[in-house]
Amino acid sequence: MSIAATNLERYAWLSVAAALATIGLKTLAWWLTGSVGLLSDALESLVNLAAAVLALSMLRVAASPPDEEHPYGHSKAEYFSAGIEGTLIVLAAAGILIVAVPRLIRPEPLEAPVLGLTITFVASLINLGAARVLIRAGRRHGSITLEADGKHLMTDVWTSGGVILGVALVFITGWLRLDPVVAIGVAAHIVWVGVGLVRRSVAGLMDAAIAAGDQGEVTRIFEEYSRRYGVAFHAFRTRQAGMRRFISFHLLVPDEWSVAQAHRLSEEIEERIRSLVPNAGVFTHIEPISDPSSYDDQELDRP
């Protein structure tokens, strides 16, 4: 396993540790208060733990080297992690509704709300710190798994804030039905987040193109070399697979060039692209610029 993969696993272990800590704290807060809002927060932390363990396992799979059956590697495993995490979030929302709706019909008083809210606030600070680390690491390393896990934890922070506010208002106003109303609001919010994660996962599995900014970097390289050497480019295609990016294009060179000369230029261009687009695999097809057949294969499926 590479050093980079090991570093990503360390971030995943941070998520596991944060989930375990917050589960304990939020469960204690619910036990002390009897608040269904705080229970909903604790249930979401259980999902955080499942998602963190799943992220850890998928990062290990994604870091596995290419083999005969998977010559392009296993990086798409990260999309399964994000998709399953989104599904778990939706299931957690269903669990919250099952608990909250009966309490909405038959409200019950809260106990020790100040202590419960204090404990929940501490748990939220733990999630906030872990979320910021994971999101930054995910964006820096191009890992959808870490970024999704970080955004999930950040969602937990916001929902915890809503729960804390709701329980505090119950304590101040005495309106007991506000507690389950807050829980239902938490459920609706995390469903929205879960659906977004599933949609992003599906988009990745559909071989989406790399980011527009990275495509622009490649296009500028094409324009530079076209002016310098009188070459041309077409059939430029990209796709994203977790941390990996795949870029292919056709390089059309003057007819009088030797194979060695064209190869040297293609190697130089590929190196430039890899230096600007992280984790990129680059594939070049060389063709003579004046041969009509060189222009017959620009589409994905050649006619």
Contact yes or no for 208/239 (Cβ under 8 A) = yes
Task: Give pTM, 2 decimals.
Answer: 0.59
Contacts for 226-231: CB closer than 8 Å, 24+ residues apart: 229/253, 229/265, 230/254, 231/265, 231/289
Q: List the CATH number of the domain containing 192.
A: 1.20.1510.10
- Report the chain (303 residues): mean pLDDT per 10 consecutive residues: 56 84 86 77 74 74 74 72 72 72 72 78 89 86 75 77 76 77 76 75 76 92 95 92 86 95 96 90 94 82 60
Torsion sign over Cα 297, 299, 300, 303: negative
56 plus 140 within the same structural domain: yes
* 132-162: pLDDT as tens digits: 998 888 887 767 677 777 877 887 787 777 7
Model pLDDT, residue 298 = 77
Model pLDDT, residue 48 = 73
Last-in-domain residue among 205, 236, 255 = 205
239 plus 143 within the same structural domain: no
Residues of the domain holding 77: 3-205
Residue with tokens 């992280």: 278
Model pLDDT, residue 223 = 96
Torsion sign over Cα 11, 50, 91, 155: negative
Last-in-domain residue among 205, 234, 251 = 205
219 plus 180 within the same structural domain: no
124 plus 239 within the same structural domain: no
H or E element in which residue 282 lies: strand 280-288
* 29-42: pLDDT as tens digits: 888 887 777 777 77
Model pLDDT, residue 7 = 66
Model pLDDT, residue 255 = 93
Residue with tokens 């799979």: 61
* Domain count across the chain: 2
Q: List the CATH number of the domain containing 281.
A: 3.30.70.1350
Last-in-domain residue among 205, 220, 240 = 205
- For 69, phi then psi, to 5°, come to -85, -20
Residue 49 CA to residue 29 CA, distance in Å, equals 18
